[in-house]
Structure 1
Amino acid sequence: MQTHTLSRLWVAAQFGLIGLMVLWPSPHWSRGWVSYLLLAAGAALVLWVFWHNRPGNFNIVPEPRQGAHLVTTGPYRWVRHPMYVALLLFMAGVAAAAHSPVQWALWLALCVVLNFKAAMEERLLSGVWPEYVGYQRVTRRFIPGVW
């Protein structure tokens, strides 16, 4: 399968899962502090990412944009994909508020999709920036010092 097609399939899967999580009916929506904490952490991380990255650098698909540059400061110093981490934190807040095993199953599926999307993105980034391979050696994908 072509890179262009595969990258769009990962994006479609990502947004499909987000849509299902947001729209899935739950009779037990709560306003617990855990869900608020996860939602706030995700939103704060998004703002930190925007602070350290130029808007022209972002791309919804895993393919690097023409003229983009490699960012290794701010949240990128700690993880290679802080925007994905922010999304996972935010959607974990949605799942925590829903109190639904279905929501958590969808969240786990989103984790899998973002992991595959990140792997594809990393392969493409290392083709554009040879220094990305060294960055991968010292910076974890999603969880600092762990994964």
Structure 2
Amino acid sequence: MPRYVAERILLAPLDDVWRFVSEPYHLSDWWPGISGVEPDRRGMAAGARWKVQGPGFLRKPETERVLLVREVHPMERVSFELPSQRIAVVLELRATDADRTSATVEVEGRFLFGPGSTVGKQALARLYDLVQTAAER
């Protein structure tokens, strides 16, 4: 299956970045193609099953799908899967400085070509814009 990796330095401390990405309702803010999230009672925990909404390929404009949270290692890594789209995602975070965080997104999926091959870069660009708590002024 095609696999794409994107990396970016975020202008925020690791704590701030983790706090943002570990909040289930923020997923629709930074992950392309998701416009709504309804997490289960476990929230950001391995084994959680969330309902997510977003545009469907050759389907209704807003389609409800399932997101499976695979791994959660606080302050380091989260992975999830969108089975209906056959996409697996890994987000890894690492502090590079007191106010900088390295973020790496790995996306693997059967139908990642053309615009689909840039979802990792798009996600990191959105995260960059949303978590700039330590941007130089």
**Higher share in strand:** 2
Q: Do these two structures clear the TM 0.5 threshold for a shared fold by scoring above it? A: no
Larger Rg: 1
Output the TM-score relative to the length of structure 1. 0.28
Output the TM-score relative to the length of structure 2. 0.30
